Amino acid sequence: MTTVQAEGLSLRFGRTTALKDVSFALDDGVTGLLGPNGAGKTTLLRILATAIPADAGQLRILGADPRGAAGRLAVRRRLGYLPQNPGFHPHFTAFEFVDYIAILKEIVAGRHDEVRRVLHAVGLDDQRGKKIKALSGGMRQRVGLAAALLDDPALVILDEPTVGLDPEQRLRFRELIAHIGEGRTVLLSTHQTEDVATVCQRVIVLNQGRIPFEGEPVALAGVARGRVWTSPARADGALAAWRTGNGDYHNIGDPPPGARLVDPSIEDGYLMVIDAASLAGRAA
């Protein structure tokens, strides 16, 4: 069974269109939701997490329709959610915070054992008695992830969990996410193409409330095939160009005749599928 089936989702905040006619499907494994700031990623994740409803469209999550109270409850019982800014009560220890969320998740039997299990799963055995305010950013994110893993959810939604982490913490977090994605559906929102390249089996690109690409990361890179080249000077007409470590320019766009084409990366493909206005802004 498909975990999430969305058809024509739309949502407006006043005059702002956050999502417009968004359709996609999610199955087991890690799917990356890639997009620039303001693309509508958090709004989409909030809809999937049943925090807000869409204005229009059809949505089925784990076989339930979240528009009704019963459907929402059915989804929430099998959902793990890590918001972009998970709020922590500062006087709580890691154990106490996860325990608090376990109560909100109505876990009754063996609650403390379940809290210990998820803290172990994210590698916080030794930190569970520490106050959250004393933990590093990476550890706090792991506390949030532990809370999301309570009760073994079938769908895990993670909103930019690697933001603000140093390279080592990001690496560890990616390992965790890859592990979590075995046997369940994980939707990982990010604006870092490295996250997608390392842990995602599929990727959805969201830009200005629309989905211009959905497929495998390799296919996303393939979008830029034949449209990435290097040159000793910045190429005129390139949609985006930047200087690389060896001094050459890495150009994306329509290559001139005889250009030195190179294999595209996921980032190249991503830049190709977002609109020309965004590209112009990045290149400037």
Partner 1 sequence: MSARDWHVADDDLRAYADGAAQPPWLWSTETHLAACPRCRQRLAEHVDPAAVRAGWARLDAELDAPRPGPVEALLVRLGLPAHTARLLACTPALRRSWLTAVGFALAVTTAAAHLARSNTVPIPLLAIAPLLPLIGVAISFGPRVDPSYELAVVAPLHTFRLLLLRCAAVLSATTALTGVASLAMPEYSPVVLGWLAPSLALTLLSLALTPRFGPVTAALAVGFGWLALLGATVHVTTGESVLFTAPGQAGLAAIAAAAAMALWKVRAAFDTNHHLGRTADPTTRRTT
Residues that bind partner 1 (CB under 8 A): 13-14, 18, 35, 37-43, 46, 49-53, 69, 72-73, 76-77, 79, 81, 83, 85-91, 93, 95-96, 99-101, 103-106, 111-113, 116, 128-129, 147
- Beta bridge mates, 5: 25, 60
8 or 53, CB closer to partner 1? Answer: 53
106 or 216, CB closer to partner 1? Answer: 106
Strands of the sheet with 4-13, listed across from one edge: 16-26, 4-13, 56-61
C-beta of residue 181 within 8 angstroms of C-beta of residue 30: yes
At position 282, the amino acid (one-letter code) is R
Q: How far is the CB of 262 from partner 1 (least distance, A)?
A: 31
119 or 235, CB closer to partner 1? Answer: 119
Residue with tokens 């595209």: 264
Q: How far is the CB of 160 from partner 1 (least distance, A)?
A: 9
Which helix (DSSP H) or strand (DSSP E) does residue 32 occupy? Answer: strand 29-34
Nearest to 147 by CA among 183, 94, 209: 94
44 or 235, CB closer to partner 1? Answer: 44
Q: How far is the CB of 29 from partner 1 (least distance, A)?
A: 22
3 or 251, CB closer to partner 1? Answer: 3
136 secondary structure, DSSP code: -
Q: How far is the CB of 55 from partner 1 (least distance, A)?
A: 10
134 secondary structure, DSSP code: G
C-beta of residue 235 within 8 angstroms of C-beta of residue 257: no
Q: How far is the CB of 38 from partner 1 (least distance, A)?
A: 5
113 or 168, CB closer to partner 1? Answer: 113
Q: How far is the CB of 210 from partner 1 (least distance, A)?
A: 14
C-beta of residue 241 within 8 angstroms of C-beta of residue 196: no
C-beta of residue 58 within 8 angstroms of C-beta of residue 23: no
C-beta of residue 4 within 8 angstroms of C-beta of residue 61: yes
